[in-house]
């Protein structure tokens, strides 16, 4: 760390105390408590029963399947689209600032409000989406109430806002690339796609890794759209694990089950992130 490095016996501790104490109480302790609770019975005796019960439960396996399916689709979709958006608004053409601001805007609309708005846009009876599709003779689709469509609709809702957010990171990364790199590529007669794959993408490795990890974490722990729009239904088709954990704690008052699910989610997230990290760094070698 840079800076001045002054020595003082007690002052620095006083200065960092509020932040460190609050972080310990409200961030570090809860996560440890949750992992421990997963291995304790209701009376506080160490046990593996919580996991045994959970693994014997069909709802849990369905929820795990839905969560994996959801993430396998949403993570690449969001990353590819937000990357394309960043490339587009990084172009040097007239009026690009206006386009950039417009593409940022969905991020300002909270996920809650986005869900509430899209819920009405996608409604089967009075939704504008079905009204528009009727122009082409499409029968009304129950985007959020049909088992075939609900998960895709949740993906659409989350990505509408999410892509604007992730675009900011790719754009910051693109801006960090020295323009002279592009100039020399152009001189060598490198076309758009070969510049993209040989220069831009490799140079964005750190940004991409960050977005990949942060995006994975965010999507595995997604909660609001499901809680507001579908409540896990229809027929469990959008029952993401985070929502299942919420229900365990606040609907069934089963803290052990909730602690198990959150711990499993964390293990999955850390596992996926470690694999992504390894994969991305190996490619370089």
Partner 1 sequence: MSKKQKKAIGTILLYLVLILFVFVALFPILFCLSASLRTQEDLFQNMLPFTLRALIPTKLTFENYVIIFTQYEFWRPIMNTLIVTGLTIFFGCLINSIAGFAFTCFDFKGKKILYALVLVSFMVPFESIAIPLYDVASKLKMVDTYAGMIVPAIADGLVAFLFIQFFKDIPVALIEAARVDGASWPRIFARIIMPISVPVFVTAGLMIFMNQWNSYMWPLLVARSKEIRTIQIAISAFSGERAIKWTYIYAGSLVSAIIPICLFLPFQKYFVEGITAGSVKG
Near partner 1 in 95-134, by CB under 8 A: 99, 101-121, 126, 128, 131-132, 134
Per-residue contact flags (x/-) with partner 1 for residues 8 to 27, judged by CB under 8 A: x--xxx-xx-xxxxxxxxxx
Q: How far apart are CA 170 and CA 188, in angstroms?
A: 25
Residue 7 within binding range of partner 1, rule CB under 8 A: yes
40 phi/psi in degrees, rounded to 5: -115, 145
- Choosing from 56, 93, 251, 285, the residue that interacts with partner 1 (CB under 8 A) is 93
Residue 187 within binding range of partner 1, rule CB under 8 A: no
Strand partners, 138: none
Rounded (5°) CA angle 273-277-279: 115
**Interface size with partner 1, residues (CB under 8 A):** 96
Residue 83 within binding range of partner 1, rule CB under 8 A: no
At its nearest, how many Å lie between partner 1 and the CB of residue 128? 6
At its nearest, how many Å lie between partner 1 and the CB of residue 176? 6
Residue 168 within binding range of partner 1, rule CB under 8 A: yes
Which range in 58-66, 91-99, 147-155, 178-186 contacts partner 1 by CB under 8 A? 91-99
Q: How far apart are CA 140 and CA 123, in angstroms?
A: 9
Residue 256 within binding range of partner 1, rule CB under 8 A: no
Tokens matching residue 30: 């809860």
Rounded (5°) CA angle 105-101-203: 105
At its nearest, how many Å lie between partner 1 and the CB of residue 156? 10
Nearest to 242 by CA among 214, 271, 256, 263: 263
Nearest to 63 by CA among 258, 242, 255: 242
Residue 139 within binding range of partner 1, rule CB under 8 A: no
- Choosing from 61, 250, 252, 279, the residue that interacts with partner 1 (CB under 8 A) is 250
At its nearest, how many Å lie between partner 1 and the CB of residue 147? 21
When the beta carbons of 5 and 58 are compared against partner 1, the nearer one is 5
Per-residue contact flags (x/-) with partner 1 for residues 46 to 75, judged by CB under 8 A: ------------------------------
Q: Which residue has the tokens 């046990």?
A: 47
Per-residue contact flags (x/-) with partner 1 for residues 213 to 232, judged by CB under 8 A: -x--xx--xxxx--xx----
280 within 8 A of 211, measured Cβ to Cβ: no
Rounded (5°) CA angle 171-270-41: 140
Greatest extent of the chain over all pairs of C-alpha atoms, in Å: 77
């Amino acid at each position: 760390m840079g800076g001045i490095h002054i020595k003082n016996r007690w002052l620095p501790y006083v200065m960092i105390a509020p932040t460190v104490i609050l972080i310990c109480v409200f961030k570090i302790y809860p996560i440890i408590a949750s992992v421990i609770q997963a291995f304790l019975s209701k009376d506080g005796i160490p046990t593996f029963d919580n996991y045994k019960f959970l693994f014997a439960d069909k709802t849990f396996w369905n929820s795990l399947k839905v969560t994996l399916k959801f993430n396998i689709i949403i993570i690449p979709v969001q990353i590819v689209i937000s990357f394309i958006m960043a490339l587009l608004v990084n172009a040097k053409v007239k009026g690009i600032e206006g386009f950039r601001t417009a593409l940022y805007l969905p991020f300002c609309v909270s996920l809650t409000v986005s869900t509430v708005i899209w819920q009405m846009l996608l409604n089967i009876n009075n939704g504008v989406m079905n009204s528009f599709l009727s122009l082409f003779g499409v029968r009304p689709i129950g985007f959020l109430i049909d088992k075939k469509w609900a998960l895709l609709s949740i993906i659409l809702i989350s990505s509408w806002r999410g892509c604007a957010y992730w675009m900011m990171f790719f754009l910051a990364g693109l801006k960090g690339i020295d323009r002279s790199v592009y100039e020399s590529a152009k001189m060598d007669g490198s076309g758009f796609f070969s510049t993209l794959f040989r220069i831009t993408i490799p140079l964005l490795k750190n940004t991409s890794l960050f977005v990949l990890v942060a995006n994975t974490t965010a999507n595995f722990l997604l909660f609001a759209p499901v809680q507001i729009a579908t409540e896990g239904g229809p027929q469990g088709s959008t029952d993401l694990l985070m929502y299942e954990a919420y229900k365990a704690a606040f609907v069934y008052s089963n803290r052990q089950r909730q602690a198990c699910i959150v711990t499993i989610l964390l293990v999955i997230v850390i596992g996926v992130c470690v694999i992504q990290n390894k994969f991305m760094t190996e490619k370089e070698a």
